[in-house]
């Protein structure tokens, strides 16, 4: 059972600790994304050496391939991928959202065609809970309808968003009922929906609080809406989430997004940005981003970031990383990924320290100045 304790606050920013299944996770925390059961270009051992204690896997894709019959032979996902720390699994709602041209959403669930072989498939709250039980996810997400900002370049109306939000509420109730029916001893998080409408976000949150969950996630952001609208909704609903539960912002994950979200009470993050950007040669440093493919780095003997103690920065030059990226060498992707994930872990550590020392506002100011980012928080 999940136990969450707030240690310190600084404004709406919170420093806390999650205890779950004999592991401790200090918050705010970033969870590397291993969609298919592996965090791309990096090994579980390297993640552990960086001190990551939790990753995100995707139940939808693992259901598709390798399939539950394979994973069940190992007694769950932990042994299958050789990760003996915590796993949070997304329920599949976002993946169905991304397949919107090939699905049909009904009260019962979602009918869609497999992106692998075209088979007709069906996903319901009950099936999602059963899938995540077989995976033995430490943190299970309810099945929701991930409300898009636009459909075919048309912004959804308030009535359309309301209908979607209420569907997610009914699915949240069914997810919880099934979660306990199948005797899952792990933890279940809900997802607050409501698009860009504050009244709908309020209604979603209040109903989810009545149902009761171990943690509260915010969904339906970073789905194509303007950044200003995302920030406005997060500033509104983030501080309203239950104070005694972990708060999780799904899918938003630039360093600037994380800082802004922490300042509005968010504790947990996941995003593909650090690993995907690493493979594409975009590297995060304490002094701004580096596009390692640029010709200016061809003869550069400096490390990516003098203030970084990752394996990449301690051993390799920008020139070598530039060469590897230009040649398309796998080592380049690995070294870049090691650096970006190390940067993210250290970013979260610095955030926690600043909250604990009650200097979070100064940290934000210094962060924005060093990264050459205009503070709009």
Which residues belong to the annotated binding site for substrate?
90-94, 144, 193, 220
Q: How far is CA 307 from each of CA 155, 310, 335, 343, 361, rounded to the nearest angstrom?
A: 44, 9, 17, 10, 21
Residue 288 CB neighbours (<10 A): 11
Binding residues for Zn(2+): 308, 310, 313, 339
Catalytic hit among 138, 270, 300, 305? 270
Q: 270 an active-site residue?
A: yes
Instruction: Give a three-class secondary structure readout of the chain.
Output: CCEEEEEEEECCEEEEEEEECCEEEEECEEEEEECCCCCCCCCHHHHHHCCCCEEEEEHHHHHHCCCHHHHHHCCCHHHHHCCCCEEEEECCHHHHHHCHHHEEECCCCEEEECCCCCCEEEECHHHHHHHHHHHCCCEEECCCCCCCCEECCEECCHHHHHHHHHHHHHHHHHHHHHHHHCCCCCEEEEEECCCCCHHHHHHHHHHHHHHCCCEEEECCCCCCCCHHHHHHHHHHHHHHCCCCCCEEECCCCCHHHHHHHHCCCCCEEEECHHHHHHHCCEEEEECEEEECCCHHHCCCCCCCCCCCCCHHHHHCCHHHHHHHHHHCCHHHHHHHHHHHHHHHHHHHHHHHHHHHCCCHHHHHHHHHHHCCCCCCC
Q: 366 an active-site residue?
A: no
**What gap in Å lies between CA 325 and CA 335, rounded to an integer?**
10
Q: Which residues contact 210 (CB under 8 A, 6 or more apart)?
A: none
Binding residues: 90-94, 144, 193, 220, 308, 310, 313, 339
Catalytic hit among 90, 138, 214, 257? 90
Active site (catalytic) residues = 90, 270
């Amino acid at each position: 059972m999940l136990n969450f304790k707030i240690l310190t606050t600084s404004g709406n920013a919170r420093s806390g600790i999650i205890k779950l299944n004999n592991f401790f996770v200090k918050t705010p925390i970033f969870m590397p994304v291993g969609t298919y059961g592996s965090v791309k270009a990096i090994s579980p051992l390297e993640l552990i050496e960086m001190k990551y204690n939790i990753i995100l896997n995707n139940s939808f894709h693992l259901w598709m391939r390798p399939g539950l019959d394979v994973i069940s032979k190992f007694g769950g996902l932990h042994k299958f991928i050789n990760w003996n720390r915590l796993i949070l699994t997304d329920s599949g709602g976002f993946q169905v959202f991304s397949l919107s041209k090939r699905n049909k959403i009904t009260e019962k669930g979602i009918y869609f065609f497999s992106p692998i072989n075209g088979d007709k498939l069906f996903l319901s709250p009950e099936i999602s809970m059963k899938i995540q039980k077989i995976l033995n996810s430490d943190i299970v997400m309810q099945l929701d309808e991930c409300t898009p900002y636009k459909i075919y370049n048309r912004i959804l109306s308030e009535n359309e968003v309301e209908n979607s939000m209420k569907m997610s509420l009914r699915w949240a109730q069914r997810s919880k009922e099934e979660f306990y029916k199948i005797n899952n001893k792990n933890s279940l998080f809900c997802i607050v929906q409501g698009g860009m409408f504050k009244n709908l976000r309020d209604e979603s949150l209040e109903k989810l609080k009545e149902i009761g969950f171990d943690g509260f996630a915010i969904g339906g952001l970073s789905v194509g809406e303007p950044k200003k609208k995302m920030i406005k909704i997060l500033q509104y609903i983030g501080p309203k989430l239950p104070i005694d539960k972990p708060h999780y912002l799904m899918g938003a994950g630039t360093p600037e997004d994380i800082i802004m979200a922490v300042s509005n009470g968010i504790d947990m993050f996941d995003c593909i940005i650090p690993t995907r950007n690493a493979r594409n040669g975009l590297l995060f440093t304490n002094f701004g981003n580096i596009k390692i493919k640029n010709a200016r780095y061809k003869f550069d003997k400096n490390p990516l970031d003098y203030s970084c103690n990752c394996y990449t920065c301690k051993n390799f030059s920008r020139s070598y990383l530039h060469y590897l990226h230009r040649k398309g060498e796998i080592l380049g992707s690995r070294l870049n990924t090691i650096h970006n994930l190390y940067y993210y872990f250290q970013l979260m550590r610095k955030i926690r320290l600043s909250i604990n020392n009650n200097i979070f506002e100064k940290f934000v100011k210094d962060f924005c100045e060093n990264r050459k980012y205009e503070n709009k928080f």
